[in-house]
Chain A
Amino acid sequence: MAVTSTSPTAARSALRVRGLSVEFRTRRGPVPSVRGVDLDVAPGELVALLGESGSGKSVTVRSIMGLDADNARSSADEMRLGDTDLLALSGDERRRLRGHRMSMVFQDALSALNPVLSVGDQIGDLIRAHTDASRRAARARAVELLAMVGIPGASRRVGDYPHQFSGGMRQRILIGMAIALEPELLLADEPTTALDVTVQAQILELLDRLRRELDMAVLLITHDLGVVSEVADRVAVMYAGRIVERGSGDDLLAQPAHPYTEALLTSVPQTEGLGRDLVTIPGSPPNPERVPPGCAFHPRCSWAVEACRETRPALIEVRRGRESACHRSQEVVGAGNE
């Protein structure tokens, strides 16, 4: 079982982020996409960052990786990888950490691999860039990694090119590359969204095994509640660039304290509701250029009251290990008890 840190100030933190904001310069002016995000991931822990498209998940993890887009301006109060203060590092020092102490798996596996290099060469180059391993040793390690991520006949296939593998295999190869140097932190941006369920299951199982075997911290980005339910120790829910609720997976999924989380959970088709209409959330997620004032969710919220239009609710603890940004959190979480 993984370490479940209930306290966000847990001493043993693989990743600690405070007050991360990212703004994009566009022709229509600055667009704030991520606003004051706090995140903690402990070693061996799998935290899910849940949110709909455009809510700011990818922008958040790219910024943590130090891979902001050219037109982005990011700022944070604090950003630590273990004991290392990421904000104090130069661009070069930050680059050296990537792939080594922290790595990322992108959603689109085909475009993330080099089509003209064999997968063995790609993994080998990566290992040799960060360690003094010999060519042979790097090759042997590549075979080991391919086997570890479940590529059958790894020693035979190490010389194959990306296009010779299926989509699910390429995604696993990317994970193999990301863990090649046993990073402390793995950021996985929707690694299974483009995959079929049987392959998705393999990848999720792989992530789960790796964090247990290597004590790796995993931040898994997803919009799929089923995936969250299956693998997450803790969950952070993002809406319009902010974390609106977080807590342990069991607790949060059983008794959401934020109306958005609650609405997401009830809109998923479930066996109990068969034959009935699905519960819908009116409207659609806001455009980041025009986020509603007050609580960004208020135009769609069935709990909204007057105060919600004007005052933005802060993310505060509603009970032990659970934070929610809603004026009515206590009532919402209480309603789940009935």
Chain B
Amino acid sequence: MPATSSPHTPQPAGTAPPGEVVLEARDLVKTFTTGRGGLSRTRVSSVDGISLSLRAGESLGIVGESGCGKSTLARMLVGLEVPDSGSISYRGRDVTAARRGDRRLLRRGVQMVFQDPYTSLDPRMTVLEIVGEPLTASRTGTRASRRDRVAELLSLVGLAPGLMERYPHQFSGGQRQRIGIARALALEPEVLVCDEPVSALDVSVQAQVVNVLRDLQRRLGVTLLFIAHDLSVVRHVADRVAVMYLGRIAEIGPTATVYEAPAHPYTQALLSASPVVDRARRGRMAARIVLDGDPPSPTSPPPGCRFHTRCRMARDDCRTDVPSLRRPSEAQERARLAACHHAEDALTRLEDVFGPA
């Protein structure tokens, strides 16, 4: 089993001291079966052996390409999907098994913010009803106290409480996403799982939502799991980042280390292909690390290292042996782990990612 958090985890400057582990996933596996049965049945390996732990007050970013299993992982962590195997514990209590008390504990403590602010809110409900729903459902407080709480929640995400009688269609995408966040905060969760919370928003309003999330983390100490495919947004929000490829974690560690000295060839390729707003570095994309071929289908993931079909550094061992998450030897940063047999070599080739120093 890969270890994902070492006791010596140094935290990047400017964040809360490492807290206790609030949410821990061990060896999560989820496979979907599609098709009508018989020969047309196919098995989609969506998440394959993911372990991670979230410490109180930290923000963990998850990045990876479409279909690599980010949403599936998120849905398991909030209890919307049951893993085939592996376990999830919340505050030290195993909540994987579908015992109702445990699941209620998880559902209350870990809330989710969904990707699409246009479809995730019920159009027939007022903002008061939407944000107050978790309180009503759990019979928390009186009608009047719930109203006060909704007003408080709305101010927390930067919306005027006077708007609570309105309907979702009267709000812009950014405002709707903030309504979704207010609702997720209603039961004072310890962990907020945000699945691409800004991807559907206009560029000029993404920053509003990113700032609200950062502010909540600072003021309320909420633990954040932040999924995105935009690497620059994750860099801005996350203390630690996990890079996923085809259902597995390729690399995980403090954000600065992963972005500045990526040890996994896949992380390196991703970073080298992301356009940055910097004309001086124009043409950098032409010099990027080119991935061979197309992403393999999750219905027949390659054996060994799942990245080997596209990795420029692949050797024989990569085609047969599954690399486990480990600390590259001699690497300065102890908390960064990479699932690559040749991470040491990869680290010597950082100029391919960033150009000559």
* A residues with CB within 8 A of B: 52-53, 152, 166-169, 196-198, 200-202, 204-205, 208, 223-230, 249-250, 253-254, 263-265, 267-271, 273-275, 277-285, 300
A224 and B275 contacting across the interface, CB-CB below 8 Å? yes
Q: Which of B288-343 contact A (CB under 8 A)?
A: 288, 290-291, 293-295
B212-247 with Cβ < 8 A to chain A? 214-215, 229, 231-233, 235-236
Kindly supply a per-residue 1/0 record for chain B positions 187-203, scoring 1 wherever the CB is within 8 Å of any chain A CB and 0 otherwise: 00000000000000011
Question: A229 and B229: CB pair below 8 A?
Answer: no
User: Chain B interface: which size bin?
Assistant: 35 or more
| In the assembled complex, B100 has its CB within 8 A of some CB on chain A | no
The reply to whether A269 and B235 contact each other, CB–CB distance below 8 Å, is: yes
Give the docked Cα–Cα distance between A278 and B214 (Å).
10
A sample of 24 inter-chain contacts (CB < 8 A) reads A52-B202, A53-B202, A169-B294, A196-B229, A197-B231, A197-B273, A197-B274, A197-B275, A198-B65, A201-B273, A224-B275, A225-B203, A264-B204, A268-B232, A269-B210, A271-B235, A275-B14, A278-B207, A278-B211, A280-B205, A281-B208, A282-B208, A283-B172, A285-B204
Cβ-defined contact, B207 with A267, below 8 A:
yes
CB contacts (< 8 Å) of B357 on chain A: these are none
- B243-302 residues with Cβ-Cβ distance < 8 A to A are 269-270, 273-279, 282, 284-286, 288, 290-291, 293-295
Answer whether A267 and B203 are a contact pair too, CB < 8 Å, given A201-B288, A274-B235, A284-B174: yes
What would 8 more interface pairs be, CB under 8 Å, given A230-B275, A230-B285, A269-B210?
Answer: A167-B66, A201-B273, A201-B285, A227-B275, A269-B232, A269-B236, A270-B278, A300-B204
Q: Is B206 a contact partner of A229 (Cβ separation < 8 A)?
A: no
Residues of B at under 8 Å CB distance from A? Answer: 14, 65-66, 172-175, 202-208, 210-211, 214-215, 229, 231-233, 235-236, 269-270, 273-279, 282, 284-286, 288, 290-291, 293-295
Q: How far is the CA of A275 from the CA of B175 in the complex (A)?
A: 24
Which residues on A sit within 8 Å (CB–CB) of B232? Answer: 226, 268-270
Tell me the complex Cα distance, A202–B285, Å: 9
Q: Is the CB of A229 within 8 A of B205?
A: no
Contacts of A225 in B (CB 8 A): 203, 277
Interface centre among B174, B270, B286, by most chain A C-beta atoms within 10 angstroms, is B286
Q: Contacts A198-B270, A280-B211 hold; do A263 and B288 have CB atoms under 8 A apart? A: no
Query: Are B273 and A152 in touch, CB under 8 angstroms?
Result: no
Say whether A198 contacts B269, CB under 8 Å.
yes
Nearest 8 A/B pairs, CB to CB: A226-B275, A284-B172, A278-B207, A269-B236, A196-B65, A201-B273, A281-B204, A52-B202
Q: Assess the A279–B205 pair: CB atoms within 8 A.
A: no
Nearest neighbor of B284 in chain A, beta-carbon distance? A230
Min CB gap B97→A, angstroms? 36
Contact A223 B202 (CB under 8 A): yes
Q: B277 near A270 (CB under 8 angstroms)?
A: yes
